[in-house]
Amino acid sequence: MSNYKEHRIAVIGAGVMGTNIAATAIGHGLPVVLVDVDEHVVEEARTTTLNHVRHAQLMGALPADRPLGTLTTSVSVEDAADTTAVVEAIVESPEVKAKLLTELSALVAAGTPLISNTSGIPIDELADWVTRPADLLGTHFMNPTYLIKMVEVIRGPRTGDAALESVADLLTAMGRQPVVVRDAPGFVTSRLLHPMLNDAARIVGAGTATVEDVDALMSGCLGHPTGPLRTADLIGLDNLADSLRVLHERTGDERCRPCDLLLDKVRAGHLGRKSGRGFYDYGKALS
């Protein structure tokens, strides 16, 4: 049984996934340092994270026998130095991730797991940028993290046993169920899901069906919980487009080339629930 009191994590990146991961950890009693680029971003992220925690409590998704963990916000990655694990949850850009992982690798103690919450970049590609590749592995949390218990864990060719065991223990302490897969572009979930979301957008763009009808058919006929286009809005259409580009560049699969309608929405700033409008209109940005 994992002891949640042994863990103190840093989450780098206070966007949709960073605040979700932080809320899940706090809700299970783990102290969290949440880091992003400026004070305004981290103050908004503090409110968002605590709102996630309250929602999780209302949904009965948190253990009743644990006090909430503390949340510390910071604009300096140096505040991650004394944590027991670091989760990178920034934009899906290999160059930006590589720069951050290089900095983190020089900062944290040997044996501290460096966890990339990438949706598709191969872990072994990122491992070229860290001092100790054995400490690096991937996780792919789903949104909302505090409600979805299963987490895809990606073991790169150079990931060590100690890092894998440490992250499995951390996820157990956070009430998550890890499923370990081998390294590949998109791993399992993104490799299957993201081309399907792109196809759904392409069908709408071609005029075959409306957004609502695509989601209704996928939900009513094929059992998709929310429909692919509502799912795309929840992921963030910019994040989806970035992930698709990563997959297309590394696999050559034309289904992964972001379709025109998806790119048009990103250019218009219609990014999904977080911006208040995507394939659907939500009235206001998601907090």
Known binding site for NAD(+): residues? 13-18, 36, 92, 97, 119, 143, 274
Under DSSP, is residue 72 helix (H, G, I), strand (E, B) or coil? Answer: strand
DSSP E strands in the chain: the ranges are: 9-12, 32-35, 71-74, 85-88, 114-116, 136-140, 150-155, 177-182
> C-alpha distances in angstroms, 25 versus 56, 63, 102, 138?
11, 11, 25, 17
Distinct helix (H) and strand (E) counts, the chain = 10, 8
Structural tokens at position 248: 């297309």
Can you tell me the distance from the alpha carbon of 7 to that of 5, in angstroms, rounded to the nearest whole number? 6
Residues in CB range of 119: below 8 A, 6 or more apart: 92, 140, 186, 189, 190, 194, 239, 243, 246
SS3 210: coil
- The DSSP-derived string for 18-41 is HHHHHHHHHHTT--EEEE-SSHHH
**Nearest Cα residue to 53 out of 117, 145, 141:** 145
SS3 content of the chain, % helix, strand, coil (to 5): 50, 15, 40
**Dihedral sign from CA coordinates of 223, 186, 238, 57:** positive
